[in-house]
Amino acid sequence: MPIIVQKYGGSSVADIEKIKNVARRVAKSRDAGNQMVVVVSAMGDTTDDLIALAKKITAHPSGREYDLLLSTGELVSCTLLAMALDSIGYRAVSLSGAQAGIKTDTEYNRAHILGIDPKRVVNELNAGNIVVVAGFQGITQDQDVTTLGRGGSDTTAIALAISLKAKECHIYTDVDGVFTADPRLVAEAHSLSEINYEEMLEMANCGARVMHPRAVELGQMYNMPILVACTFNEKPGTLIHGGKDMEVKNKVTGIAHDMDVAKIMIVGVPDRPGIASAIFEPLATAGISVDTIVQNASIENITDLTFTVAAGDLDKAMKVVMPIAESIKARDCISNSRLGKISIIGAGMQNTPGYAARMFTTLSEKNINIHLITTSEIRITCIVDDDRVSEAVRALHRAFELEKP
Amino acid sequence: MPIIVQKYGGSSVADIEKIKNVARRVAKSRDAGNQMVVVVSAMGDTTDDLIALAKKITAHPSGREYDLLLSTGELVSCTLLAMALDSIGYRAVSLSGAQAGIKTDTEYNRAHILGIDPKRVVNELNAGNIVVVAGFQGITQDQDVTTLGRGGSDTTAIALAISLKAKECHIYTDVDGVFTADPRLVAEAHSLSEINYEEMLEMANCGARVMHPRAVELGQMYNMPILVACTFNEKPGTLIHGGKDMEVKNKVTGIAHDMDVAKIMIVGVPDRPGIASAIFEPLATAGISVDTIVQNASIENITDLTFTVAAGDLDKAMKVVMPIAESIKARDCISNSRLGKISIIGAGMQNTPGYAARMFTTLSEKNINIHLITTSEIRITCIVDDDRVSEAVRALHRAFELEKP
């Protein structure tokens, strides 16, 4: 029998009725002749509630204690789902991350999976059980519980699917799949039937929240097909895969956007080796992720260096950058936190001219000023004022005819 | 450094302020020069809340799933206590039952500790940490989580104390210690400074709820001194110990009572071998604990057999007993669920006449009818109408001069 790994997020198991709904969905896949492994997140706001408890005690909880605390949320939901399956006549067993053999490093709060020992899971499947695994958690060599950080449960599911040689990994969530653009901004946006790993990675990195890039990357590395679909309806969802069978579509696949963007511009920087590293090394040390970096062509050995960070990191970043700008004798250092990022993404854009031009023309027709431009092989990104993002996304969705299936 | 094991019950860790209070108490014992191991129950009503969740899904959850679910309550409180200790400058580490090496059998919901592998606990103590252990839970040979049932966290604490060769085990609760009688009934009742294991066992078996008999028995078996004291004040509490150093006091130690008593009387039973087993075997099979059993002297080979069960078990017990009474041709089978049990307990009663007489006289002076009498070496128990129990306890407390320290 083929193995299917399904993952249900926190909103899919937020209350008892929803857990029963998940049990019925899992049972249906089982009836269709699959061996089932189900990964669950904690119920609804459980993780936030546990974090709030810890914060009442200390602003800086030990990573080890914090992870053992947070790991209880998934234990509760996975045992309840196993009970719900059992109560409708399907034998099921719940496993903690430790019991499921999820081995991690000791980076508490953001541990990485080092490997999976699937012995117990395989034994339970062979015994005819549906296996319900607590997502988002693993165990170190010293038997200490870790959590996997952002995108953790998706990563658990995909890693399990890979180690079990599953046929597919299904990620169930509260949206219908991967959309051509955010449907809250664009009424005509629709769910894609398929997308390849590269496009999905660009979408995820550029603000589409449906899956964490880390989980997509893992799927891509092992070529594990990932279906993203909705827990609450029967719509087919979006299949993320290697793209071998995909028709080459001379087309933009989707538009991602992110409102959480701030820009720092260091003006009048002497253009000599070592300057970039003098700026970006200390930012990395301070734990600040730098997104887009643009350096203008140098005029008389003086250049401007611009980069973006998450808006929430701006104050911290400025504290790092200001003294450096001074020490390298830059003329000025200015910031803007009221920015947004819009990206058009599509494998079909590779080696095909005209996409960038059409994007810039569309924005210009709407009188939307472009602060920065960056591109990858399958993506073009523009930074614009945040109050123009919605309008820009709608205009681009029309310009690239994404309303057509 | 001597090792002290402390256990804090659910009401002692019911909220964040109480957890901080526990942290300060533990820190104080640490400052006094002890290595500290702390066992905690789940916060307040957590366990009841988890049970309610499971019951919403199914009336008969699998024991394995149920135990993994319930075990999360103690994980939450033990991680929070470790954080609270850390936040006031005491290095602490929390351990699940599995990590603390609590090995059990596979009797889910009421597992028994088979042994403790204290390696990890010892290593953490040697590294200078205070060790906080999740009570009430253990792990089977197959790495499945179990819970220990009633009195579970007390049992965890005492078993750990024994395996670590601790100096003492402290059980902290919301009462000041073991009382001469229930202070809600007797205004003059006071906390005892000490009591021996046998007396404590009789007290616990006869309705004193402060400790579960199972945990006392374990302490007795290994002669581990147990201090029962209050989490919320500095009163000295009651030391339960082997009694070697105790003065032989020609005195009643305490009075226990239990309102939850029902009586079944099988009238006119032919007095021949095998009758008792014909009645009590099926009750045992049905999981009904029989407490007191009294058989009257036989007259012309016809006798009456009376026994008591918990009032909540009466209906179930009658369903078992009625057909048996008929088949052995007993004349009648009658029950009474409105009864209570009063016991006077004291090691000093051994081989000393007069205690029983004084008890019966005291009850008779109050016109309280005695339904049944049973005795052990250090205990005399009377079953009376439940609406007379309070009055009886007060009268006996005075008659045996328990108000005097």
| Cβ contact A98–B143 (<8 Å) | yes
Distance of CA A73 to the CA centre of its chain: 21
* C-beta contacts of A61-64 below 8 A and 24+ residues apart: A61/B83, A61/B86, A62/A108, A62/B82, A62/B83, A62/B86, A63/A108, A63/A109, A64/A108, A64/A144, A64/B93, A64/B94
What pLDDT is stored for residue B172 in this prediction?
Answer: 96
CA B353/CA B28 separation, integer angstroms? 47
What pLDDT is stored for residue B291 in this prediction?
Answer: 83
> What confidence tier does A250 reach under pLDDT thresholds 50, 70, 90?
low
Count of CB atoms situated within 10 Å of the CB of A375: 15
Please compute the mean of the pLDDT values over residues B3-18 and round it to a whole number. Answer: 96
What pLDDT is stored for residue A191 in this prediction?
Answer: 93
Please compute the mean of the pLDDT values over residues A217-245 and round it to a whole number. Answer: 91
CA distances from B279 to A167, B227, B260, B265, B306 (A): 59, 41, 22, 12, 11
pLDDT for A346-380, tens place per residue?
A: 887 776 678 888 898 999 999 998 888 888 878 88
* Six token digits for residue A107: 């980076």
Enter the CATH code of domain B3-174: 3.40.1160.10
Which residue is it, tokens 């720092």? A264
* Cβ atoms of B269 and B332 closer than 8 Å: no
CA A231/CA A170 separation, integer angstroms? 10
For residue B353, give the 3-state DSSP assignment. Answer: coil
| A238 beta partners | A228
| Cβ contact B65–A76 (<8 Å) | no
Which residue is it, tokens 């004349």? B331
Model confidence at B389: pLDDT above 90: yes
Could you tell me the strand order of the sheet in which B102-104 lies?
B113-116, B102-104, B137-139, B145-147
pLDDT for A265-286, tens place per residue?
A: 999 888 777 787 888 888 888 8
For residue A128, give the 3-state DSSP assignment. Answer: coil
> Using CB atoms, which residue from A66, A80, A144 is nearest to B53?
A80
| Chain A residue with the nearest C-alpha to that of B93 | A65
| Chain A residue with the nearest C-alpha to that of B87 | A58
> Using CB atoms, which residue from B58, B68, B120 is nearest to A87?
B58
pTM for this structure?
0.83
For residue B298, give the 3-state DSSP assignment. Answer: coil
| Chain A residue with the nearest C-alpha to that of B131 | A65
Residue B53: its chain A contacts at CB < 8 A? 16, 76, 80
Provide, rounded to the nearest whole percent, the portion of chain B with pLDDT above 70.
97
For residue B180, give the 3-state DSSP assignment. Answer: coil
What pLDDT is stored for residue A53 in this prediction?
Answer: 94
pLDDT for A25-36, tens place per residue?
A: 999 999 999 999
What's phi and psi for A57, nearest 5 deg? -95, -45
The pLDDT mean for chain B works out to: 91
Least confident of A182-196, A386-400, B289-303, B377-391: B289-303
Instruction: Spell out the domain ranges in chain A.
Output: 3-174, 255-399
The alpha-carbon gap from B76 to the nearest alpha carbon of chain A, in Å, equals 5
Model confidence at A245: pLDDT above 80: no
CA A107/CA A81 separation, integer angstroms? 29
CA dihedral of residues A240, A244, A246, A250 (deg, nearest 10): 110
- The bridge status of strand B3-8 relative to strand B102-104 is unpaired
What pLDDT is stored for residue B243 in this prediction?
Answer: 72
Burial of B87 (0-12, 13-18, 19+ CB in 10 A): middle
pLDDT for B131-142, tens place per residue?
A: 999 999 999 999
At the second CATH level, the architecture of A255-399 is 2-Layer Sandwich (3.30)
| Chain A residue with the nearest C-alpha to that of B67 | A79
Half-sphere exposure of B129 (CA within 13 A, CB side): 17
Least confident of A237-246, B5-14, B192-201, B341-350: A237-246
* C-beta contacts of A292-295 below 8 A and 24+ residues apart: A292/A341, A292/A372, A292/A374, A292/A381, A292/A383, A294/A372, A294/A373, A294/A374
Give the residue from B49, B50, B79, B124 with the most A CB atoms within 10 Å of its CB, the best one to mutate: B79
CA A187/CA B96 separation, integer angstroms? 50
What pLDDT is stored for residue B302 in this prediction?
Answer: 84
* Six token digits for residue B281: 């075997």
Give the residue from A62, A95, A123 with the most B CB atoms within 10 Å of its CB, the best one to mutate: A62
> What confidence tier does B393 reach under pLDDT thresholds 50, 70, 90?
very high
